[in-house]
Structure 1
Amino acid sequence: MELFSRCWAALRTVVDGLPDADFARPSGCTGWLVRDLVCHLVIDAQDVLITLATPVDAAPTRDAATYWEVTGAPPTGDDPLDALTVRLAAAYRDPGLLKFHLDDVGGAAGRAAGAADPGRTVGTRGQVLTVGDYLGAYVLEWTLHHLDLVAHLPAVPGPPAAGLARSRELLERITAAAFPAVFSDADALLLGTGRRLPDGAERDRLGPLAARLPFVLG
């Protein structure tokens, strides 16, 4: 719960501090500019609010790891929902309005998460999770998107170290794969999810795991 709040606050703080020009730069998400990614974060925040307001009187069917579906096909940006996100982002025109919306809805999502009972069960995507596991899954979401946000903005602070470590641990649980200890948490996440390709030396260190990459989470 605390790590969810820390990672989400760090991501929103970075967005709030971006100059307008940075919203037109590429992000680490294929086909998306920074403004498109920020618009997606608004939608994510809405999903958090909806899920936390959807209690279910049933036993959990998923946890923070099994919440994720894994495929081997990286997104192309052509998915209808992805395309809708791009159109919505363009409609904001003024990056300040997008910042305001993220602060408004994102702040509400953060407060709702902080007030939620971690043991309560909620429904999302046709599955049931405890609030604690649901928010735990979102630590990975926030961390990956924080990496996406700063992919072409080297002067902008990256995700909290604790979020990176937890996200690497979760990715390794999701995929039953252990990345070499020599890799930083950020590199393990970027390589593991296909956000960048390994170079020759990294491929050698990955060994047989290289043939399994990328792990695309959805």
Structure 2
Amino acid sequence: MDLFSLSWTALRTAVAELADEDFARPSGCTGWLVRDLVCHLIIDAQDVLITLVTPAETEPTRDAVTYWDILEVPAADDPLDALIVRLASAYEEPWLLKFHLDDVGSAAGRAAELADPAVRVGTRDEVLTAGDHLLAYVLEWTLHHLDLIAHLPDAAEPPAEGLARSRELLEKIAGAEFPSSFTDRDALLIGTGRRAPAEAEKAELGDLAAKLPLVLG
């Protein structure tokens, strides 16, 4: 729970510190500007809020690792992705996006702090504990923090603890460990296809290279 708060606070702080012109820069999400990514974070915050107040009575069907589906290829022409781009442009002024993220994001953060990690909740027609749901979002926040700063070299990096835990989650999803020579940041970027491995890195990956990239959905 603490790691969720740490990762989420760091990401929201990074957004709050953006200059207006940064919102028109590309993000690490293919086809999305920074403003589109920030709009997506607002949707994510809403998802956290909705899930935490959607109790479930049945046994968990997913955990923080199996929460993620591995897609064969990125979803093409996803209507939600298209909606996010249109919605982001409708904000017109960057401060409006900052305000909405701070408003909804703060509420999601408070809800997470108040949640009982053992309580079972429902989302995406699946059941998992609130703790596992929030842990899955540590990976989401960390990856999107890297996306946010992909073309902003002076921006703050995600917390080291979040990077390390996200790497562990991704390795469990992959069913294999990344080479110890890889930094947590590079393991996440290469593992999810956000950066192509150099030839030397590809050689170090060995059989794992054939499983990459892991497109998470």
TM bucket (normalised to shorter chain) is over 0.9
- How far is the alpha carbon of 1:158 from its aligned partner? 1.1
Deviations 1:107-160 (CA, angstroms, capped at 9, x unpaired): 000000000111100000000011000000000000000000011101001100
- Give 1:32-111 correspondences, 5 Å limit: 32-75=32-75, 78-111=77-110
Aligned runs of 1:8-47 on 2, under 5 Å? Answer: 8-47=8-47
Give the alignment's TM-score, normalised by structure 2: 0.98
Residue 55 of structure 1 deviates from its aligned partner by: 0.7
Distance 2:59 2:208 in 1: 34
Question: Match for 1:46: what amino acid?
Answer: Q
Residues 35-80 of structure 1, C-alpha deviation per residue, up to 9 Å, x if partnerless? 000000000000000000101112111110010001231355x311
Q: Deviation above 3 Å: which 4+ runs of structure 1?
A: none
Q: CA deviation at 1:101?
A: 0.0
Instruction: Mark the runs of 5 or more structure 1 residues left unpaired by the alignment.
Output: none
Tell me what 1:152 maps to: 151
Q: Is the 2:42–2:101 contact (alpha carbons within 8 Å) kept by the matching residues of 1?
A: yes
Task: Quote the sequence identity (%).
Answer: 71
Instruction: Write the distance in 2 (CA, Å) between the matches of 1:157 and 1:73.
Output: 30
- The answer on whether the counterparts of 1:191 and 1:198 sit within 8 Å (CA) in structure 2 is yes
Q: How does 1:140-179 map to 2 (within 5 A)?
A: 140-179=139-178
Structure 1 residue matching 2:59: 3-state secondary structure: coil
In the alignment, the residues of structure 2 paired with residue 74 and residue 81 of structure 1 have an alpha-carbon distance, to the nearest angstrom, of 13
Secondary structure at the counterpart of residue 44 of structure 2: helix
Tell me how far apart the structure 1 counterparts of residues 8 and 46 of structure 2 sit (CA, whole Å): 13
Q: Is contact 2:191-2:212 (8 Å) kept?
A: yes
On the 8 A contact 2:174/2:211 being kept in 1, the answer is: no
Measured on the aligned residues, the alpha-carbon RMSD in Å equals: 0.8
Query: Residue type matched to 1:99 in 2?
Result: K
Tell me which amino acid in the other structure corresponds to 1:129: L
Structure 2 unaligned spans of 5+: none
In 2, the alpha carbon distance for the partners of 1:117 and 1:137 equals 16
